[in-house]
Structure 1
Amino acid sequence: MFHPDHIAQATAWRHDLHQHPELGFEEVRTSAMIAELLTGWGWEVHRGLAGTGVVAVMGGAGPSIGLRADMDALPIEEATGLPYASVHSGKMHACGHDGHVAMLLLAARQIAIEGVARGKVTLIFQPAEENDGGARVMVEGGLFERFPVDAVYGVHNWPGLTPGRLVARDAEMMAAFAVFEIIVEGKGGHAAMPEQSNGVVAAAARIAAAVQEIPARSLSPLDPGVVSVTQIHTGSAWNVCPDSAALRGTARWFAPAAGDVLEARLSEVVHGVAAAQGCRARVDYQRRYPATINTAPEAMTAREVGAQMGLDITTAPPSMASEDFAFMLNAARGAYVWLGAGHQDGVIGEGNPGLHSAQFDFNDAVLPVGAEFWVRLVRKVTG
C-alpha cells in the first residue's frame, strides 16, 4: 500500500518525535511538525484547539469519519539507550504516542495521494492524553461542533499482543479512573513515648491496606473495580512520631454505580480507620476519566477492516487502565482499538517492556500496519 520511501520517512518522523518528547499541553514542536507536513499534502489544517491540538480536514459531503492520535510524552527518565533516545531529561515517549502520530501521518499522506472522492475525513492530533484530559478539553472547546463526524476512532499500540493482532470490543475497553489524596493528622511526639502521640503512621499503614480491600468487599466479583495506594509520605527522623501523613493513589471501575460505591466507601473507611487511631483525616477524591466504551457497530467496522487486512481479530478482556478518548466516545459514536505491538503474546517484562516503562520503545514494525488500518477504515466508511 505504501511506497517504501514513505515508510522510511514515517519511521524517521517517529524517531525524531521520540528524541524530542513534549509533555501534555506543551507539544509545540510536535504540533508544528504535524501541521507543516499536513499542509504540504493539501489538508485543511486548524491549530489551537486545546492549545497545541491540530485538526485537519479533507473531503466534502457524505459520510464523515474522525481519526485520533495522541501526541504527549510522559515525565519519565528514559533508560532505553537508543540512538534516538530522548534529549530532554525526565521526559520520554513511554506509551507509543510518537508511533501513533507517525502512523496517522503516514495514513494522511496516502489519503491525500488517493484523494477523498466522497465524504469527509477529519484527523485529530490530540494533546495531553496522560492524566490531563486533552480529549475533554478538545470536546469542551467545540471539537465536534466545529468538525462534526459520524464516528470517531482511536488506535493504541498494545505490547501485550503480538503484531498482527487486533482487539475492538463491542463495549468496555478501558476503565474510568479517579485520583485521591488522603491526609492523616494527629499529635506527634517522641518515638520513645508513643503513648503521648497519636498513631499517624499506624493509621496510614492501616488505611493503605484497608482501602485496597474495598472492591473485594463492596463490589460484586462480576463488577470490576480496583483501588491502589501508590504513595505514602510521612516522617522525617528515626526518633520522631510524625503528626501527619499523606497517601495518594487511584481508583478504577467501569459501571457508574461501582464508581459511586468506591468513592463513598473510601471516604468511610479512611475516616473510620483514622478515628480508631485517634487521628483525623481529609480526603480529596477527583474523578478524572470516564470509562472508554465502544459503540458496537463501529467496533464491528474496525474488526471487519482488520480482517480484510489479514489481521487476527482477537478477543480480550477490557483493561483496568484508562484513556481520555472516553470523552470523545461520550460525545460521538466510535471505537477504540488495540493493535498488537509486542514481541510475545501476554508477556510484559524483560525483552517486552510494557507501556509507561523507562525501557519502552514503540515497535516500528507495526507502523505501516496501523497506517494501513487507518487508510482502509477511511475507504470503508466513506465508500
Structure 2
Amino acid sequence: MAAWMPDAYGDTAAGQSSEQILEELRRHRQALHRIPELDFDLPRTIEYVRHHLDGLCCEVFEPCRSCVCAYFDAGRDSTVAVRADMDALPIVERSCAPARSETPGHMHACGHDAHMAMALTFASVVDRAIACAHGGLETGCAETHAAGEREAESLSGERPVLESNVLFIFQPAEETTGGAKTVCESGVFERFGVNAIFGFHVWPDLPAGTVASRPGALFARSSETHIDIKGASAHIATTYGVPDERTHDAMLAAARFVEGARSLMMRLGEREYCIAKFGLLRAGAVCNAVAGEAHIEGSLRVYSDQMFDAARDGVRSCLEDACASTGCTYEVSFASGYPPVINDRALFDRARMAVPHMVELDTPSLTAEDFSFYQQRIAGLFMLLGVGSCPACPAGASSSLHADDLYFDEEPLLAGVDTYCRLFGLGPIA
C-alpha cells in the first residue's frame, strides 16, 4: 500500500450520521488533494480510487485509458451513472489547505478532489444500502454484508432501497482534451444499460451547501481559437507617411482585430449569451521594426449551433477587415472543443421533486465542461454545489476556480452526498 494512503477506511454506509459521513469525506478529499495529477497521467489517483472501490461489493474495471468505473448491481432494471473527474491543473498551490499538494507545480485548483471525495463516499453509502436491502454474502464482501444484515435487523419499518443500479465513473482529462468523450466511446453505457447520469461541480460563488442547477443550457460550448497574421517586417523609419493598408503591420492588424471582435460580441450578445475573448497576443521581435507576424489565441463560448456559426463567421469577418486595412493575410482555426452542457428538462424536474431545496438558476454560465459529452449519449443533469468561503482561511477568504489559492472546507460536500442519496431513493442524510 502506498505511503500516502490511509491504512484502513471507516465503515461509512447507509444509516450513518452526517458526522460519520463528513469524516469520510474529509479523509478522501484531503488525501486526494495531496496527490494532484494531470490529463491522463493519473497513476496515484487511480490507485487511491481503486483501493477504496476494491473493498466494496461492486465490479471495478477500466473501460478505457485512465478511467475507473464501479458497477453496483441493486437488482434493478435500470442503471444510473454518477460521474467524478480526477485530473488537476498545472498550478503552484498557495492555498491555506491543511494538506497541500505534494506534487510541485500541480494543484487541484478546480475542485476535482472534492468531486471524487463525494463519489467515493456515496459509493460507500450505495454499498451499505445494497447490503441492508439484500443481506447476501458475496465473495470478498462478507464483512460488509454481514454488517448490513445486522443493521437491517436492528431497524424497524421499511428501509429505503436504491431505485436503480449505480455505475460510478471516475474519468481523466476534463481539463484538457475531454476524457468524457473517450468514456462514451468505450461502450460502457450500452454494456450496463445506463439511461441517465448525474454530476456535480463545486462552485465558490454560491453559499456553502447550496445545490443549484437549471433545465436546458447550464454551461457553454467552447472553441479554442488560434489566429496567425502575416505581414512584412520593415524598419519603422521607412513607414513614415505610408498608408496603413501598405504597411503590412501585423501588430496593427492584430490590435484592430481584437477591438473589432469585442464590438462583434457586444452586438451578438444582445441576441444570446456569448463571448469571444483573446488572452494571448504575440507580435514582432524588436522595438524599431514593424511586426512581420502576429499570433493570437482565445476562446469562443456560445450555447447554440446557430450562435456558434454566427460568432465564427463574425470573427472571420473581423479578421478580413483588420488584415485588409493593413495589407496583411491571416489563417484562423476553431477547435471543436466541448459541446454545451444542456440539462435534460424531465430529469431536472424529477430532481427538483427529490431535492426540493435545489435552487433553479436564472441564467447559464459561460464556463465549459466535458460532462456535455455524456449528455449527447444519455439524459444528464449537471449541478453546482456551493462551497462559499473557507472558514479556516484568514478572514474566511474565498477564491475562484483555477486560482492558486482555492480552498474550501469539506462540510459543504455533505450537501452533495445528501443530494445523491435523495436522487437514488435513499432519502436524506440523517
TM > 0.5: yes
The 1:237/1:170 distance shift into structure 2, 3 A limit, reads same
Q: Percent identity?
A: 30
Q: 1-side partners of 2:358 and 2:343: how far apart?
A: 19
Determine whether 1:229 maps to 2:297: no
Q: 1-side partners of 2:275 and 2:188: how far apart?
A: 32
SS of 1:115's equivalent in the other structure is helix
Q: Give the alignment partner of residue 357 of structure 1, picking from 375, 386, 403.
A: 403
- Structure 1: which 5+ residue stretches go unaligned? none
SS of 1:150's equivalent in the other structure is strand
Contact 1:167 1:303 in 2 (8 A): no
AA partner of residue 300 (structure 2): A
Q: Give the alignment partner of residue 215 of structure 1, picking from 253, 265, 271.
A: 265
Give the count of matched residue pairs: 372
SS of 1:40's equivalent in the other structure is coil
Q: 2-side partners of 1:224 and 1:265: how far apart?
A: 15
SS of 1:365's equivalent in the other structure is coil
Matches within 5 A, 1:167-182: 167-182=212-227
**Displacement of 1:107 after TM fit?**
0.7
Matches within 5 A, 1:89-238: 89-115=104-130, 117=133, 119-195=164-240, 197-217=247-267, 219=268, 221-238=270-287
**Displacement of 1:250 after TM fit?**
0.4
The more displaced of 371-380 and 268-277 is 371-380
Residues 118-153 of structure 1, C-alpha deviation per residue, up to 9 Å, x if partnerless? 631111111111131111111122231223212111
Counterpart position of 2:412: 366
**Displacement of 1:32 after TM fit?**
1.7
The 1:276/1:29 distance shift into structure 2, 3 A limit, reads same
TM-score by length of 1: 0.91
Q: 1-side partners of 2:42 and 2:299: how far apart?
A: 26
TM-score by length of 2: 0.82
Matches within 5 A, 1:5-154: 5-49=20-64, 51-59=65-73, 60-115=75-130, 117=133, 119-154=164-199
**Displacement of 1:185 after TM fit?**
0.9
Q: 1-side partners of 2:164 and 2:417: how far apart?
A: 19
**Displacement of 1:44 after TM fit?**
0.8
SS of 2:403's equivalent in the other structure is coil
RMSD of aligned Cα (Å): 2.1
Counterpart position of 1:249: 298
**Displacement of 1:87 after TM fit?**
2.1
**Displacement of 1:215 after TM fit?**
2.3
Determine whether 1:338 maps to 2:387: no
AA partner of residue 225 (structure 2): F
Contact 1:94 1:360 in 2 (8 A): yes
Of structures 1 and 2, the larger Rg is shown by 2
AA partner of residue 212 (structure 1): R
Q: Give the alignment partner of residue 295 of structure 1, picking from 332, 336, 344.
A: 344
Q: 1-side partners of 2:232 and 2:209: how far apart?
A: 59
